[in-house]
Structure formats: C-alpha cells, structure tokens
Structure 1
Amino acid sequence: MNVGVLRFRNDSLSETFEIYRGNKDFNKIGQIVSVNGQPSVTNWFGEACNKVAGSYDESLLQPFLTRDSFLNVYGSDLCTTTPMSVESTTSFKGIDCLKFTPNERFLGSVVDFPENYCYCPGSIEKITLGQSCMRTGAMEFAACQAVPVVLTFPHFYKASRYYQNAVDGLSPDSDTHQSYVSLEPTTGIPINGAKRIQINFQLKGTPAMKMTGKARDLLMPFLWIDEKVELGDDQLSMIKDTLLKMLKIANIAQWVLIAIGILMVLVGSIMSFISARREHGHPD
C-alpha cells in the first residue's frame, strides 16, 4: 500500500518548458509559452485555473520590475500559477530587492474571487456543486497530485477563522509562515525566498455514524514545509560587482549621450546664429 503524502516529489521533474527569449518583445522574456507542449495543464475544473501560458517559471522571472508589478508564477508542485504582488522593498546583503508575496486571490474563496470556482471539486463551467468549495486560505489538492489532502499556509496563516478556531495552539505569523521571493528589480533575478505550505487532512462528520454525525467539519494539520533558498556569496558578488555595475554604467552613459546630444544642438544653433550675423554684416 502506497501511503506517502509527498511521494510525488521523489522523482525528478519531467516537465518540458517552452519560454519566450525576448527577441521580438523584451518585456516577455522568460514568459512560459507551454508546458509539455500545451498552454494549459489539465488538473483543475476550468481554463482559468489550468492556464500556464503567460506566467513565469520560478527560476526565471520578469526584468524591469516596479512597485506596481504583478507576477503569475507557475509551480509544478501546485499544478497551477500563484499570483504575486509587491509587498515591500527590502535589501539582502547589499542588493536592493522587491519582495513579492502571494496576493489575496491565491487560496481565496469563491465568495471573494468568483474566478477561483475552478479549484472547487466537481465544478462545471463556473457552476460549483454544493459545498465543494473551500473557505478562504485552503485548496483541495487531490486534483493536482492525487493525494487526498488540503493545502493551506502554515498555522492557517491568512485562512478563514473557521479553520483557525477549530484547532488549538496556532500562532499564524507573516515572518514565519508567509511564502515570498525577493527579486533584484532590474534583472528579475531571485535573490532569496521561501516556500511555506501546510498539509492538512479534512475531517467531516458522517451522519450515518452516531458518534460522528454531529461532528464539525474541520482541517487537521498534518505537517508544514518551509523551503528556503538564497544566492551564495559568489553569485551575489557577481551580481553586484559585474552585472549591476555594468547596468549602472550603461544608465550613466545613456544620460551622458543625451547631454552630449543636447550640447551639440546648442553649439550648432549658436554657430548658425553667429554665421548668419556675419553674412548679413551685423555690427558687433
């Protein structure tokens, strides 16, 4: 009997990604065109949840980011994209970064985000069946990896009070339980990040059984995972001492060339004015 909750992670990833190189539109560099030759996966119950084309792989993200930037990041483990927005500016070992975190639509309920209907088991073309949808902060995972569990953030961080109040001993905290990635904004290079997820079992009352007929439906935490990654000192030095310096020099050179161009226009105008005065014999 195969009972491993994380057995799907024992094998190497076999997905083949096609991405934009940015030759025709540099703003699309790194965007996913297809996964295994298809613009969408087939795990969920509607195109909005299955679509991966136009999103980004976790290791190659969009350059030239600003505080208003928004990213859809595809993760093979979740079989879907994670919408991420800028939470704050930060710095890591001397490199200025933008800190992206999953926004409210990720694990959002269909009450607040109707477009999330397709994460509800049994949904058909925007019609959800019965009580198949989870409350805020939870997602049934069986459609992704054929494992009968529910995903949340650790300690039910940002989840419905319904889930939080059913379990004792929780202390949800953004610093400890929030997933994030810090990106160097000019290049889009991931500098550091953390993927934090909690695996839960869904317990439901069974009316046919007297002992559990009136039991409250709840999520029982099983384990939570905290995966962290950061660039090493050698990679950080290369980014700071080579790449960012070159970009800074290029930026300065751009303004220098603009200044030289303006100066040449001014000099040309002055020379034309002086030449015109001489031709018309204006006295000094």
Structure 2
Amino acid sequence: MIVMVPSLIKQQVLKNVRIDPTSLSFNMWKEIPVPFYLSVYFFDVLNPNEILKGEKPQVRERGPYVYREFRHKSNITFNDNDTVSYLEYRSFRFQPAKSRGLESDYIVMPNILVLGAAIMMENKPMSLKLMMTLAFSTLGERAFMNRTVAEIMWGYEDPLVSLINKYFPDMLPFKGKFGLFAELNNSNSGLFTVFTGVKDFQRIHLVDKWNGLSKVNFWHSDQCNMINGTSGQMWAPFMTPESSLEFYSPEACRSMKLIYQEPGVYEGIPTYRFVAPKTLFANGSDYPPNEGFCPCLESGVQNVSTCRFSAPLFLSHPHFYNADPVLAEAVIGLHPNQEEHSLFLDIHPVTGIPMNCSVKLQLSLYIKAVKGIGQTGKIEPVVLPLLWFGESGAMEGETLRTFYTQLVLLPAVLHYAQYVLLALGCLLLLVPVVHHIRSQEKCYLFWSSSKKGPKDKEAIQAYSESLMTPAPRGTVLQEARL
C-alpha cells in the first residue's frame, strides 16, 4: 500500500477531473452545483451640480444589491482534437433578503451616454460638438441621471439610443434598452472551446479558442491579446505553491493571472489561496508587459474602452485598492482596504476545483469638461467610480460532503491504514519469534532434567513418596511445585 496507494489516488484523480461523461466531476462541470451570488455596490453621487462647477466629486456607497446567479452549459460538443465546445448561459434573480435595499432605489450616477460621448468627440470638429450639444438639449440629456437600481443594471429606454439606432442602426453594439449588466442576463459569455484532458492531461481545462479565436484583437500587443489559462471554473490538479491561476475573462476582454498567497483549510478541506498581484492593473510605466493595454492613466486602472464601444471605461479593484493613491484621493468617500476589496480564490490543490471564491472588480468612467459640449460644464478630469461588484461562491451541502468523503477522508484513511497494517504486520511477526524462543526454553529444561545424576533422582523419588503418604489429622497440606 505504501508503494501503490499514492499512485492509485493520482490515477483516480486524473480519471475523474477530466471533462468526460464518465468522470465524477463531469456533472459538476456541466451544471455548477455551487450557489453563486452577484453583489453590486453603487457609488451614489452626492454633489452633481458642484462637480459641474469644477469641485471634487463626493460619493456614498450603496448596497449590496444581491442577485443569485444561475449557470448552465448547453450545446456541449466533443471534438476530435481532445477539446469540447460549449455555451454557458447565465441568469440573475434578485435576493431581497440578502440585499441592503431594493431594486426600486434611486441612484444618482454619471450619464455614461452623455459624458462618454463627450470624451469620444473631444478631438472632433467644433461644429459636430455643437450639434451634439443641441441634440442633448433637445432630448433632455444631462451629465448626471437619477435612475433606479433595476434600470441601471438591466436597462432603460433612452431617447438618444433610440435616435441613434433609428438613423444609424449599426453604430451601437446594443439595441433597445441600455444597462450596465443588460448584456449578461439570460445570455452566454461566448463559445468556449477547452481541452478535455482525456488524451493530453497536460492541457486539461485550458482554453483552445473563444468564439473561434486563438487570440483577441482588442489590445496593442500580442502578449495582451493572448487567451491564456482556463475558462475560470476548474484548473489542472496537483498544484504546488509555485503554481499560478490563469483564466480568460470575456467581461474584462483579457486573460488574468493570480498568484499563490498561502495554504488554508475550508470546511476540513485543504486549500491554496490565490490572489491578484499588484501588477494586474498596473500601467505600462510600472509594469512594461501591460503597455499593450494603454493608453493608460495612473497605475491601478485598466482602460477597457477598446472592448466597450470606445467609451472611456476603466476596470480596477474596488475603491482603487492597489492603485495609485491619487485616484482615491480625487474622490471623496472612497476607503480602499485589503479585507473588503481584494479578490481571492481558494482551490483544492489535489483536484484544482475551487472551494471558495470572491472576485471583486470596479467599473469607473473617466469624465472631464469638453469644450463645445455644454453639458460637461467645468468638470475637472477624474476617474469617477460607477459601481463595484463581487461574484462569490462556496461549495456547500451534499456536494461538499461528497467531495470531503471521496477526496479527503478516504485518501486519509488509506494513508493511515497502510501504517496501521505495517505495525500490525510487525506485531504478528513477533508472535512466532516469541513462540520459537519459548519453545527452545522448554526443550532446554526437559533436556536438563533428563541429565540429572542418580542421587538427584533418588531424592526426587523420596520426595514424591512423602507426598503420597496420608498426613496426620490437623496437619495443613502444602502445595509442592516442581
């Protein structure tokens, strides 16, 4: 067992973590049993009129507004090159009991359509900018809007969007309502093609293509455009502290890499915690490999305008955690800290399956006054946070118990059983040895007694006869021992 058990366990893990209908983890991969929640925090703007006059923005965090996230894979197709293709659909359901507020709450936020369009028109001819100002005024568009949580999340009818779609139908990538999460609800995140690991275990779960592409074309360098790692749900087993987690995020339009931080235990299951390095959203000056994501601002925010219809949107950690302090100091009401705003994934290193995860990201809008567009007033250049969200999930219930029994408890029992059996075997080996030694002693005593002299024999015989003689009445008999 000492020789064979580790090898047998490894073979079973390799067999059951690959993407194959016969593996134990296939159903878990197909229909994730872990309940996922999307928690959204909005930055309610407290002084919109003062911002238009050039004052520093002041915000108040509202939320969380929590949604249960449901995921399921469809169109699962196994290919001949050891890959499988699938679409993963997501839907969201509001959870009032877990939320701090209702979807009917009103939030004051920057009007992305107005302020984003203003930045995009900054270098255009003055005549076009004046026409845009006139169009905004005619349609009643302002720099800031007061909308409900449901409208901001899932979309609202906007006269500007309706006008553009009517006369320029191919100009905007969305139709109908405009919302920050409208494209995520009841939709898929693209066609993923990943390696199953059946033929080549070294490539298990790695993304081969996304929407038929081996690399994207959003960025300005081949390294930034590469699709690396997995789809973000499972990783290769048998991790070490030198391992890293790489995955491609369609929402961020890029691959991300997390690094090992420390070992831990989740519900009795050993885990490795992986976190985001400080270089994840660093600019090209602080971290040259990120130069392809530029044009950049201060370190700690990533420009995602190239994959978000050219709007000046930026991705970062919540409250500009791990970013240049200038960003948080430019907005009143931000308080970055590691405990609340850092992301992590706790992975079972033997199988590569996540046990507990919390991915937190912030979406911000770069705003400033644009000459010729009156709606922008005297806004000072600033990266203004819109909202931050956290996707969290933790294994629980029957799935957790099954996982613990089969992948933690059973291997542990086998591990200790081999040493118990080894000790028992040694003990049983001692029994015949002791028996053999005792048998030799008895033989020696018998041999010694048979070699005694005539006088000894006569004395023994006389003593035996005396024992056979009846004792006088009242005499206490004594036991004779040979």
TM-score in terms of structure 1 length? 0.77
- What CA distance in whole angstroms lies between the structure 2 residues aligned with 1:250 and 1:16? 42
Take 2:355 and 2:266, find their aligned partners in 1: how far apart are those partners?
Answer: 8
Distance 1:187-1:206 versus aligned 2 partners, 3 A rule: same
Q: Distance in 2 between matches of 1:76 and 1:188?
A: 21
1:80 maps to 2:243: no
Q: Which runs of 5+ in 2 are unaligned?
A: 1-160, 162-176, 423-482
CA distance in 1, matches of 2:408, 2:216: 37
Q: Do the aligned residues in 2 keep the contact of 1:179 with 1:194 (CA within 8 Å)?
A: yes
Higher relative contact order (CA 8 A, sep 6+): 2
Which residue does 1:99 correspond to in 2? 273
SS class of match (2:190): coil
1:197 is matched with which residue? 361
1:47 to 2:211 alignment: no
- Cα 1:147/1:97, change in 2 over 3 Å: farther
Alignment of 1:1-284 (within 5 A): 1=161, 2-52=177-227, 54-120=228-294, 132-146=295-309, 148=311, 149-206=313-370, 216-248=380-412
The alpha-carbon distance between structure 1 residues 115 and 32, as it changes in their structure 2 partners (threshold 3 A), is same
- 1:61 is displaced (CA, Å) by 1.2
Unaligned residue ranges in structure 1 (runs of 5+): 121-131, 260-284
- Residue 124 of structure 1 is matched in structure 2 by none
Per-residue CA shift, 1:255-277, capped at 9, x if unaligned? 99xx9xxxxxxxxxxxxxxxxxx
- C-alpha displacement of 1:105: 2.5
Q: How many residues matched?
A: 247
AA aligned opposite 2:358: A
Please say if residues 98 and 185 of structure 1, whose CA atoms lie closer than 8 Å, have aligned partners that are also in contact: yes
CA distance in 2, matches of 1:58, 1:210: 44
Change in Cα spacing, 1:97 to 1:103, as seen in structure 2 (3 Å) is: same
8 Å Cα contact 2:215-2:226 kept in structure 1? yes
Compute the displacement of 1:153 (Å). Answer: 1.1
User: After the TM superposition, which of the residue ranges 142-151 and 43-52 deviates more from structure 2?
Assistant: 142-151
Identity of aligned residues (%): 27
Q: Contact 1:8/1:145 (CA < 8 Å) preserved in 2?
A: no
CA distance in 1, matches of 2:333, 2:194: 44
Larger Rg: 2
Counterpart amino acid of residue 38 in structure 1 = L
Show the counterpart of 1:272: none
Displacement of 1:85 after TM fit?
A: 0.2
CA distance 1:173–1:212, shift in 2 (3 Å): same
Deviation at 1:12, TM superposition (A): 1.5
More helix as a share of residues: 2
Which residue does 1:128 correspond to in 2? Answer: none
Q: Return the alpha-carbon distance in structure 1 between the equivalents of residues 340 and 362 of structure 2.
A: 12
Tell me the CA shift for residue 243 of structure 1. 2.4
Native 8 Å contact 1:207 1:214 kept in 2: no
Q: Match of 1:277?
A: none
